[in-house]
Amino acid sequence: MSIIYVLIPIAVLFVMLGLAIFFWAVRSKQFEDLDKEGFSILFDEQQAQPKNTTDAATEQATATSSAKTNQQQDKSSQ
Three-state secondary structure string covering 29-62: CCCCCHHHHHHHCCCCCCCCCCCCHHHHHHHHHH
pTM over 0.75: no
Look at residue 30 in the predicted model and tell me its pLDDT.
83
Task: State the pLDDT at residue 78.
Answer: 56
* pLDDT tens track, the chain, 78 positions: 899 999 999 999 999 999 999 999 999 988 787 777 777 778 777 766 656 655 556 666 666 666 666 566 666 665
- The answer to whether 21 and 30 are in contact (CB under 8 A) is no
The predicted pLDDT at position 70 comes to 59
pLDDT score for 36: 74
